[in-house]
Structures are given as structure tokens and as C-alpha cells.
Amino acid sequence: MEKVVVEDTAMPMSNRHHHTADDDNDAIMNVTETTPILSTATTSTVTFTPLFRLTALAWCSTISFALFALFQYVLPAITSTIRNDGNYQQRWEQTDPGLYRSGKTSTANGLMVVHMMGGIFLMLAGPIQLIPWMRKNKRLQYHRWIGRVYLLAALTASCGATTFVLLFRTSRLWIHEDIQNVLFGLAVIACSLQSYRYIAIPSQKDIQLHKFWSWSLVGFIFTGAPLYRICSWPIYILATNVLPPVGNITPHPIISASFYCIFLPLILSMILYKYRHNHHQSWKPDTGVLNGALAMLLVLWLPLLMFTWIPAIFDRPTTNATTEMKIDA
């Protein structure tokens, strides 16, 4: 009997087969055939957006400054106090002339150590509180406990520094820095109390207002600690070596104004938060602005890290324009 070849063109080439008249009834009864579904493997990739890169760099700069404060100020003061030798004065004077108070170690220097210990915790724990992963139901208890310690550290650090400035200022630097430090300390206290108010008092509990004041507090900590130091040295160099003097005014008006610029990032963050919350939940910052901020932060942070913070951590000689600024004051 002649064999008739029937080609199933609906099947993929790899699955095509031939049917003959000699085949059994399966070839007749099998009217419809199921086309196999080809599964394609999918891989998930992590995209490092400009906002992610800027946030990561800001966190790295904050951590580096926290380590600098720990190894340059806090640990030498604690170990020197235990040994009762007072040798930490040299370490403090190396990067912050006039900070150490001779003859008032038990009060003035103690206030500064307390301020720094609270500030170090704020710089390390603040970004953790903002991670959405930490605010999930399973980890909400950790978020709450860290938040309680965070608010306590903020009050401790701000009260210690504000008291230090008000009681023990000895013309260490121009009055503009002292005014800025007092305003800064009062603002941190206000943000801390407001953040606690809208999450801990049942009659006034408001999650959105709690987030708003928490963001404001973190903004103050970030701008007040690392960013203020990072931006101070180029401003000093600009005012002393590039711009012409303005009569007999000391310090240069640019330096005077720079002390109060510490509040600009906070104001911008508050405006953006309110704008996004009230109008555009899906609003995202411009990529060019983020990349520009990333480049500027990198250029300003690396010299300070390489020539001041890292050498100070390992007790090596440092170079710092802000040190020169305080020596010349």
C-alpha cells in the first residue's frame, strides 16, 4: 500500500513528525494536537538610578564623618579620661582648634563628648529609619525602638551642643557660627518633639505629619554634620583667595552667609516633600540635577576624606581648610 506523507506545518520545526496510512488509529483519532508552550527564562536586574547613587554617596559621606568623629574626638576623650591624663587635647586641637576647654574639662568638654556621641548615632541610624523595608509589619517594632533611641539621641546631642555654645564660647570663631549653631540646635529639638508628638500621643497621632517632621529631622542631621563640613572648606578658599576683600569686614560676607546656608537643604527638602505629598505622588526629581549633585558631592567630599578624615582616624597629620579658618579667626 502506498504511503501518504502528511506534514503538520502548524508545529515548530523541531516538533514536526510524519503520519502514514499504516499507522494505527492514533493517527486518525488524534485530530488536534497541543502546541508545547516554550518558557523563556527571565532574569531580574537591579537598576542603580541617579537617586539611588546620590543617596548611597550621601550615606557613605555621613558614615565616614561619623567614624572621623568617633576616632578623633570621642574615643580619645574616653580613653584619656579613664587614664586620667588629659592627652586628648592634642587630638581635638589637630582638626578643631579651640574646641578643647582647658580647666573646664568636667563640664564643657563633657558636653561636647555627649553631643558627639548622640550625633554619631544619629548619622548612622537616620538612613536606616527611612528604608521602607524597615517599616513593614514584621519589622515595625525595630523601627519603633530605633526611633525612640533616635529621638532621645537628637535631644541629647542638640541640648549638649546648644548649652556648650551658650555657656562656654570664648571667641573660638566668629559670632555667625555661634548664632547658626544655636538656631540649628533649637531646630533639631523642635523637629524631635514634633516627630514624637505625632506618633506617640494618641489624640494627635498623624502618620503623615510624623513622616514630615522625621524627614525634617534627618535633613537637619545630614546638613548639620557632614554636609556643613564638606562645603565649608571650598567656601573659605573662595572667600580668602579668590574674592576681593570687602573693606575691613571680618569675616568675609561670603563666610558669614555660609553659616546660615545650613538651613537651605532643609527648606528645599520640606518644600519638595509637601509638593509631592499634596500634588504629585509620582513626581521624580530631574536626572540631570541628581547627577550634578552627585558630582559636586563627590568632588567636595573626597579631598576632605583623603586629607583630613582618614589621616585623623589613624592619628596622622591632617590638612584642613576649616582648621586654617579657625586658626585665623
**Nearest of 322, 310, 306, 312 to residue 90 by alpha carbon:** 312
Q: What is the mean pLDDT of residues 119-127?
A: 88
Q: CA 115, CA 155: separation in Å to the nearest integer?
A: 9
Q: CA 47, CA 141: separation in Å to the nearest integer?
A: 30
**pLDDT at position 56 over 50:** yes
**pLDDT at position 9 over 60:** no
Residue bearing the bigger pLDDT, 136 or 311: 311
Please report which confidence band the pLDDT of residue 71 belongs to, taking 50, 70 and 90 as the band edges: very high
Q: CA 316, CA 72: separation in Å to the nearest integer?
A: 10
Please report which confidence band the pLDDT of residue 37 belongs to, taking 50, 70 and 90 as the band edges: very low
Assigned C-alpha cell, 133: 523595608
Q: What is the mean pLDDT of residues 133-162?
A: 89
Please report which confidence band the pLDDT of residue 272 belongs to, taking 50, 70 and 90 as the band edges: confident
